[in-house]
Structure 1
Amino acid sequence: MLQTADGAYSQINDILVQMKSLATEAASGQESSSNLSSLNGEFADLQSEIDQIGGSTQYGSINLIDGNTTATGGITFQIGATNGAGNYMVVQFNGATTVCLGVSGTSQKISIDSPASAQAAMTALDSALTSVNAHMGTVGGLQNQLQYSINNITQSIQNYTSSESTIEDVDMATEVSTLTKNQILQQSAMAMLAQANAQPQNVVKLLQTV
């Protein structure tokens, strides 16, 4: 899930860089009206691409970066063996649609159809790039936190397995010791019985010699 969101943020970051390049070109004041119209059309296509990625990035049936995970309180990961504090992690993915990033062509009227609008777009795009980079950093931190939790759980399982094996080994040693003890007692009893049976025969032999 985290990798999916991170990949989407990365794609959007690349698109914003392309949009910034177009806006910079349009803001120069050297482009004709037809060229500005062409640049603005390409710019609008990139805005649509951001919205497509932002609205369709999912994990299972959960939309990740359309802004809804923050509004609904996030997604909970169980990272421990119990339900106590510290055994779960709540993840909130920041929205990365054009509206969420402040570069929408409809809500925020961001376009590059003139040098003035292109200059305004450059400012908005700088802010959007800062936001997306921050979102990527947040996801990276969550990935590290989750990996630490996985490592900790794995170590706990290994320790439990080792302890269980030790207990089983101790029980086996006890059983072997008990079996050996019983065998010795049984052999001793048989030897004593054989000796007791032999005593009357020895008395008879002694009388016969008298």
Structure 2
Amino acid sequence: MKDSVIIVSGGMDSITLLYDKKDEIALGISFNYGSNHNLKEIPYAKMHCERLGIKHITINLDFIHQYFKSSLLEGSDAIPEGHYAAENMKSTVVPFRNGIMLSIAVGVAESHNLKNVLIANHAGDHTIYPDCRPEFIKAIDKAASTGTYVEARVIAPYTNITKGEIAKIGKKLGIDYAETWSCYKGGEKHCGKCGTCVERKEALAEAGIVDTTEYED
């Protein structure tokens, strides 16, 4: 029985989760909050959902770009380069982004009489993003279950594994990661230098996947 909604960005992690749990997913939701890379990611999310016969919607969150402070919202030149876990990557935090998206997804789930909301945060996010950490997922899961008649649950199965381990799952599922987007700069090609590009390269290498991503460098 399909009883789940998934937050699907079009990146490696959420596309892996989409295929991993495809038999449970009734609806894929992408959020356009005006980041540099949204317009590159979301078409991949839509394409993969359509390929799997899963309904896909995009919800605009224009207020985030208008009122929130983050280098992700300021253009490609504002995006720091270097390793994903480096201190300068904190500038890419969009405050409470997952909290906002999960809250909306829980409301959509209840509106469709669906019980679960899937999200693909992982252990590599913990250093930089507070709303990816296990304690946050536990708290918002509790809020979702107590705040809805369907007793909705937030399911985050990759919370305690690395992006490399996620890529290994994707390898078994036969996912072509060239059909995903990671780069925070959102140019014509992956820049190859920002934190998410570096993390992408490391994850694919760890999983033993030939990296066919087109990089600027």
TM (normalized to structure 2)? 0.23
- The structure that has the greater radius of gyration is 1
Structure showing the higher helix proportion among its residues: 1
TM (normalized to structure 1)? 0.23
Structure showing the higher strand proportion among its residues: 2
